Structure 1
Amino acid sequence: MPLLRRALALFLLILLGTTWPAHAGVANAPGANLQITVITYGPGDTYWERFGHIAIEVQDKGDGEAVSFNYGVFDFDEKGFLLNFARGRMHYLMDAEPTDVDTGWYVQAGRSITRQRLAFTPEQAAALRDFLLWNLRPENARYDYDYYVDNCSTRVRDALDKALGGILKTTLAARPGSMTYRQQTDRLMSAQPWLMLLLDLGLGPYADHPLSGWQEAFIPMALQRELRAVQVPDGHGGHSPLVIEEHEVSPNRVQAPPPQAPDLRGPMALAGAALAVLLVIARRRIRALFVVLAITWLVLAGAAGLLMLGLWIFTSHHSAWANANLLLFDPLAFALIPTIWRSERGAVTARWVDALLIAQLVAGLIAIALHLLPGIVQQNQPWLLLALPVWLALAWSLRGTTTH
């Protein structure tokens, strides 16, 4: 949401949290008057909107008042926001506002809106309402955000499950998810290819574990889908669907994500092979081009290594820990840059350069071996296909340039 809207949402959070207890309608309506609806908003154009959004609407059927509760507000003006973001220690806020105000912005933005009316008993509806109002209080509204396990969608999921007595988790935990964290991330970010590649490069093996329906509900659209599979007691000894009614209020007018994650192996293999061939040819015929290409590769590889190492050692981004791509892109690449400069002038280089190149090739072989191990391994085939041909081309091009 735009920065101005976030500021207004934060103001409404404080205002509602301090004044709502004295307000009639939703806050004080009996459970029999409450209607619970999940509202799912489709992805937007901006990168932080690509995962979609979700909210719980509580409506008083007596006077028609409808309020949407969501967990997707963050404050750029929070002290240390950028540092906390980099360290993976982001703080998000719960927000509440009239449904018409909330949905109006999404209609204007061209994002789809789908409503799912749920079969809550009066007791469950009142319990959910009371929990949401408690959670809305300023002292309870802030939480530590995590992209995959604690976000606006998982908070809605957990609130619904709490009110339903655990039925939601029991059902969804037994259902297999359709994709991994990595696949869902690549799929949803495919409209921004460079950002998608950066995220894929930075994700470690954590992102490749199979998910249950419960875990995959970190995505609002996945939670919307999974709610359709939930059955609840009907009060007569049987069961009925949790979702009583579902309809799309507003259609999607922005580019929708593809149904599957893009297969990066072909494009990355082609890029790696093309760059490797170009390096070998340029080394023999166009030395200046070889220098530009080789140094660009080494700078990018070294910077990527520093980033991945920093994410592992210094941050709470656990999805980036133990990243096997560190074997393909590491900070030692910077040490080879002077060698490229000297080789362009025909000067011999130190013998340790051969050892460093051999170590890099061995690291690549280790990365392949790790990928071939049985069980759950990091799905980094695209980066193997990109990096290994380039390192082989550099080793081949620099052979015979060291002192003896």
Structure 2
Amino acid sequence: MLSCFFTTFAHKMKKGLLYIVLTCLLSVVQLTAGAQGMGNADSIQISLLTCSPGKEVWAQYGHTAIRYYNKESGEDLAINYGIFSLDQSYFIPRFVLGMTDYRMGVQSMEQFLAQYEYEGRGVTEQVLNLSAKDKEAIYKALQENLKPENVVYRYNYFFDNCTTRARDIIVNHLHGKVVYPPADSDATFRSMLHKWNNEYKWTQFGEDLLLGVNADRKTTKSEQQFLPENLKNDFDKATYNGKPLVNETRELLSAKTDTVEPSFPLSPLAVAILFAVVSLVMMSFSYRRKQVYWVWDAALMITSGLLGIVFFIMIFSQHPCVSLNFILLFFNPLPLFFLYSTIRKKKVMWWKIWGILIILGLFGSLFQDIPQPILIVASFLLLHCILHIRIHKSVATASDSKR
């Protein structure tokens, strides 16, 4: 499922990428051509653009860009930090391991709006209440970002993405302090994502699998602004030098609402319950006949081992919220090493080890918000381990009594 998730992600991102890159090349020339000066500051508008979510997995949280509009010269550009190339070597593994490079992109507002209108997504503009000195500083910062050595950056979904880059290029070059409304004291990275992917059960489940303990800690105001809508709302209520930061809000495009269609007929919870039912049936047969079924054992161990390889690899990811994940105790590569000795020689050692690991993982759920379907599966795996130990002990006792 995880490989399918990332493959879908890659194919969806190809859509419109060539269009963006080609238009960016022309628009970068426009912005660079004005590097000698931006002219009359009163004719300049700098705005925050917030784009509504799209249908694709990668677009479900929206997007952020900056608008630079010079009424005097006619320059009207959208600048964003969400451009990347799928032609990068080993793109999907690099994305999973947090080693994806993104770049700054520039295109005309006409082209920018045409793209989002085609996708049925809304665009809201917040015209910022800035001084001439602020506009000049932001303009120069954008010019600096366009240099070849600065245009590419190492993307991090929570801490350094297209939204935080847009925020920083604006706020870090103002000549005064921006005061935001109080932070949500209970918000975690996981809880914020859940507000946006609640209708996409499999997307939510896939992300919950990969996110570890650090995704459940309380976040700061700055960290909460990684989501485009959060930054938009904060800008709307923020003050700058005693005045509202946003001078005017406009809806440039309205979003076209579509009914969310499930990508798979069964929800993750339904699949977990189905697994529980099959497990009960298998355990019932094993308990009555005092024997285990090696085909079922092999299926459990191979599935767990293959999933465990993914979770083990995530330990080395540069994404700080995935490296420590208690789900690794439920699904880990160890069953692949114990598979032969457990199935062919009918040893019980692995079931004891796995049972202990599962108990530790369930204890870890006190610190990590583990998806309910995973807890159901883990509980029945634990029961399966206990049953194995009891059957082995029963068989051993019966053998001793015959002697």
TM-score by length of 1: 0.81
Kindly indicate whether the alpha-carbon contact (under 8 Å) linking 1:272 and 1:390 is maintained by their aligned counterparts in 2: no
Is the contact made by 2:209 and 2:371 (CA closer than 8 Å) also made in structure 1? no
Quote the offset at 1:309 in angstroms.
Answer: 1.1
1:131 — aligned with what? 141
1:365 pairs with 2:359 = yes
Task: State whether structure 2 residue 55 is matched by structure 1 residue 61.
Answer: no
Check 1:179–1:300 CA distance in 2 against 1; reply closer, same or farther (3 A cut): farther
Give the CA deviation at 1:88. 1.6
- Which letter does structure 1 place at the counterpart of 2:391? G
Q: Which residue in the other structure is 1:32 paired with?
A: 42
Identify which of 100, 121, 126 aligns with 1:90.
Answer: 100
Alpha-carbon shift at residue 362 of structure 1 (Å): 1.8
Change over 3 Å in CA distance of 1:275–1:245 after alignment to 2:
farther
1: CA distance, partners of 2:80 / 2:19? 14
* Aligned-pair CA distance for 1:254: 4.3
Change in Cα spacing, 1:177 to 1:96, as seen in structure 2 (3 Å) is: farther
TM-score normalised by structure 2 residue count: 0.81
Counterpart Cα distance in 2 of 1:11 and 1:164? 32
The DSSP-based 3-state class of the residue aligned with 1:56 is strand
- Higher mean displacement: 132-141 or 105-114: 132-141
The aligned counterpart of 1:184 is 192
Alignment partner of 1:400 is 2:391: yes
- Could you tell me which residue of structure 2 aligns to residue 104 of structure 1? 114
| Uncovered stretches (5+) of structure 2, i.e. residues with no partner | 1-11, 261-266, 397-403
Q: Which residue in 1 is equivalent to 2:307? A: 304
The DSSP-based 3-state class of the residue aligned with 1:228 is helix
Which whole-Å CA distance do the structure 2 matches of 1:215 and 1:199 have between them? 18
Match of 1:277 among 280, 295, 299: 280
d(CA) in 2 for partners of 1:120 and 1:274?
62
CA contact (8 A) 1:280 1:397 kept: no
Per-residue CA distance 1:340-396 (angstroms, 9 max, x = gap)? 866xxxxxx44xx32321222222222333444xxxx22226233431223213431
Q: How much has 1:286 moved relative to structure 2?
A: 11
The equivalent position to 1:10 in structure 2, one of 21, 30, 45, is: 21
Inter-partner Cα distance in structure 2 for 1:5 and 1:394: 50
Tell me the CA shift for residue 104 of structure 1: 1.1
d(CA) in 2 for partners of 1:178, 1:140? 36
1:253-290 per-position Cα deviation (integer Å, ceiling 9, x unaligned)? 24589xxxxxx997687456434423323546999x96
Aligned twin of 1:214: 222
1:177 deviates by: 5.8
1:167-224 per-residue CA deviation (whole Å, 9 max, x = no partner) reads 34x536x522663212233443445433432221121111111112321111111111
- The alignment status of 1:246 with 2:285, answered yes or no, reads no
Q: How many residues align?
A: 377
State the distance in 2 between where 1:322 and 1:386 align: 20
The code of the aligned residue for 1:380 comes to I
Deviation at 1:77, TM superposition (A): 1.6
Given that 1:112 and 1:253 are in contact with CA atoms closer than 8 Å, whether structure 2 keeps it comes out as: yes
Pick one of 126, 129, 132 that aligns with 1:122.
132
- Name the CA distance, whole Å, in 2 between partners of 1:387 and 1:154: 37
- Deviation (angstroms), 1:94: 0.4
CA RMSD of aligned residues (A): 3.3
Q: Contact 2:50–2:65 (CA<8 Å) still a contact in 1?
A: yes
Alpha-carbon distance between aligned partners in 1 of 2:244 and 2:43, rounded to the nearest angstrom: 20
1:64 Cα offset (Å): 4.3
- Determine whether 1:386 maps to 2:397: no
**Corresponding letter in the other structure for 1:243:** V
Q: Which residue of 2 aligns with 1:52?
A: 62
Distance 1:368 1:21, change over 3 A: closer
Offset at 1:4?
5.9
Alignment partner of 1:298: what SS? helix
Deviation at residue 108 of structure 1 after TM alignment? 1.2
Work out the CA distance in 2 between the residues paired with 1:256 and 1:299. Answer: 38
Other-structure match for 1:331: 333
- Structure 1 partner of 2:8: none
Shift in CA distance, 269/75, structure 1 to aligned 2, threshold 3 Å: closer
Counterpart Cα distance in 2 of 1:53 and 1:369: 37
Unaligned runs of 5+ in 1: 234-238, 258-263, 343-348
Q: Which stretch has the larger CA shift, 159-168 or 266-275?
A: 266-275
Supply the distance in 1 between the matched residues of 2:87 and 2:164 (Cα, whole angstroms). 25
One-letter amino acid matched to 2:150: N
Change (3 A) 1:166 1:77: farther
Amino acid at match of 2:215: A
Q: What letter is aligned with 1:151?
A: N
Given that residues 137 and 173 in structure 2 are in contact (C-alpha distance below 8 angstroms), is that contact kept between their aligned partners in structure 1?
yes
Paired residue type of 2:368 = Q
Change (3 A) 1:156 1:303: same
